[in-house]
Structures are given as C-alpha cells and as structure tokens.
Amino acid sequence: MGTTTSRHFGLFAAFVLIGLAGASPAEAQSGLPNLDNLSPLEEAVAMEIGDVTLTLAGAMEARYTTGSGNDDDNGPGLIGSLGAVAMTQLPNRWRVELSYTGQLVSDDSLTPDESEKYTDDAAMSVGGIWGTVLLGNVSETVRNQTRRRRGFGSAVLAFDDFHGERSDRSAGYAGRVGPFVASGVVDNEGKIDLGLTFQRPIGNGSKDYRFTIRAGQGAYEAADETLQFRSQGHSVVGEVVYGSTLFDVGLGQESYSSAGMNATRWYISSGIRRKIMVWGFSLEGHYGEIEGQEEASAALGIQYDLARGLSANFGVNYEDAKVALGDVKFLDSSDTKAVFSLTYGF
C-alpha cells in the first residue's frame, strides 16, 4: 500500500482511538443486528422471562424482479427474516445482550449460488457507561453507524461503499459522548474499521444534522477471480433533515494493492428521501472512477404503507461498471432491475 495512504490511515486511526479512550461517560451502543430494519412499521415484540428481556422482530417479503438482462434476471422471490435479542442487567449495572438473526431467501432472479440460501448472524455485547464491547458477527457495526441512509421501498444503490470487505467474525467497541458516537471493529484477520458520527439539531432546531467519517481496511477479489487485493478506504457523509425530507451526500476514496499492481478509486453518492403521509419516496445516485474508468449507479424507491406492519414497495436499480486493470477484470457489473414487493413485519 502506498506510503501516503498508510500515513493518512494511521492518523485517522489515532484520532478515533483517542476518541474511544476518552469516551467515558458514554451511553451503550449495542452494535448488534438492528431489528428495526426487519419491521419498519411496528415496534418489535418484547417479553419478560425472569430477569431477561426477550425482543423478537420478523418480516416476510414476497417480491417479483424483472431485469434488463436475460430471463435468469426475472422471477418471483420470497424472503423471510427473524431476529431475537435477549438482554439482562448485571448487579454492577452492566448490560449483557445476546442476539441472533436469520434470513431465508428463495428468489429465481438471483444467481444459482444465491437463489436458495439461509444466512444468519449471532453476536454478544457487554455495555456500561464506558460504552459497549461487541463480539461475533459485528463487522458491519461501523458501516451501519456511518453509512448514508437506505432508500425507501426496494431501492438499493450499488457501489455505495468500499469494495474491500472484512470477514464476518469480528470484535468491536462503540460508545457515545454527547452528540458523538465512536465505533471500531477488527476482524479475525486483523483488518480494522473505524468511524466517528456527530448528530444533533443546530440553530433553531428546525433542522437536524449528521456528519460521519470512516476509515477501513478490507480485501477485494477481482471480478474474474484472478487477483486478491488489499484495500484501504476513507469516507465522509453529511446529512440534513428538515421536516419529513432528508438530503445526504457521501464522498469516498479507496486504494488497492496486490502483487505488482496498485489502483485508486474515488466516488460520490447522494440522495433525497421524503415521507408524505403513508407514502415514502427516495432518489439516489452514485458516480466514481477507478484509475479513470467509470462506475455509476442510481436507485428510485417508493413505499406505500397499506396497514399496520404491511407495506407495498417498488424500486428501480441501475448499475454499470466495467473496469479492467491490464489483463485483470477488476469490476464487471451492468444491469437495470425493477422490483415489486409486499412486506409484512412484526
């Protein structure tokens, strides 16, 4: 990796670690799988079992996808998700949480490896006024804290993240001091992801602002599976909420290195979300370059709340990126898909 990029990453890491060290007193940030994403229209179901609070949330989605490619891009799909969190408080006031989320996918529009699969995540956290320590499948903790907001409906904006990824098994920390939330994870291969978030109303309180910075290490396999790259990325996100309208923009830079080959990427993503009564609308766009070669994507999302826990969703997702580094096909993705779905969550 380049000396300049490594120096920048080291300075950012030192800054965030200083913030973590001074994070007391801090409110607990569980960092565990977010059950709210499973059920956007209802509160999760909670019950008391002795000294343990058990929270359950789930969702069932029936959808149909039509794509611009061959007939394999078209077809019905069914997705079922269930999440559970068990929480208790110890005599010393530490909070202990165990969580599990599972998702079963059956979708004819996906690739053969993805069309029929079950995935799950499990994690444990221990938290106090000093923050929260995490262990398990928590590698997305920093990403979830610092990312741009997701679009409504079935909108998914491609490429709006670092291409480099960490392994699922990780350990991490998250803590809050006033309007700041600092978070960090390290996976079982030693790759680090660090983030800092600031959010609060400013001025007369009519607008809410959120700013994030993030630095992460990862691994990326070229599209033709010929080379494995190490990556280092930096990103910032700015967001403003006024009434029922949200606007945000994200900027990022990522560098890649492999045997005898290096590359640099930059990107910008932006979007607007608006909620009008039972309707939700979002429009997002992304543009980036890898060694002067373009990647672009866009997503339109619409959500209509039919009843408590039930929503109708629509999304159009476009992506196009064909990047070659010498004889290596680094990134190869080009498609436009429309997705219709009904989702019920509890």
Residue 13 has pLDDT above 50, yes or no: no
Decide: 199 and 210 in contact? Cβ < 8 Å. Answer: yes
* Other CB atoms within 10 Å distance of the CB of residue 11: 11
Q: What is the pTM of this model?
A: 0.82
Residues with Cβ within 8 Å of 273's Cβ and at least 6 positions away in sequence, in order, are 149, 151, 152, 245, 246, 247, 280, 281, 282
Distance CA 314, CA 336 (A): 14
Computed over every residue of the chain, the mean pLDDT equals: 86
For 316, counting Cβ atoms within 10 Å of its Cβ (0-12 exposed, 13-18 middle, 19+ buried), the class is: middle
Q: At residue 172, what is the residue type? A: G
pLDDT, average across residues 320-324: 95
For 202, counting Cβ atoms within 10 Å of its Cβ (0-12 exposed, 13-18 middle, 19+ buried), the class is: exposed
pLDDT, average across residues 254-273: 95
Centroid of chain to Cα 159: 12
Decide: 97 and 87 in contact? Cβ < 8 Å. Answer: yes
* pLDDT 10s digits, 16-64: 333 333 333 233 333 444 444 544 445 568 888 888 999 998 899 999 9
Residue written as token pair 């803590």: 175
pLDDT, average across residues 174-201: 94
Residues with Cβ within 8 Å of 191's Cβ and at least 6 positions away in sequence, in order, are 166, 167, 216, 217, 218, 219
How long is the chain? Answer: 346
SS3 for 306?
A: strand
Task: List the one residue out of 335, 334, 328 whose CA is nearest residue 224.
Answer: 328
Label the pairing between strands 279-290 and 293-307: antiparallel
Give strand pairing partners of 154.
none
**R_g over Cα of the chain:** 21
Decide: 268 and 288 in contact? Cβ < 8 Å. Answer: yes
Q: Could you tell me the two tokens for 223? A: 């599209």
* pLDDT 10s digits, 52-99: 999 998 899 999 999 876 556 688 899 999 999 999 999 999 999 999
Residue 116: which pLDDT band, with cuts at 50, 70 and 90?
Answer: confident
User: Cα 316–322–326 angle (5° rounding)?
Assistant: 165
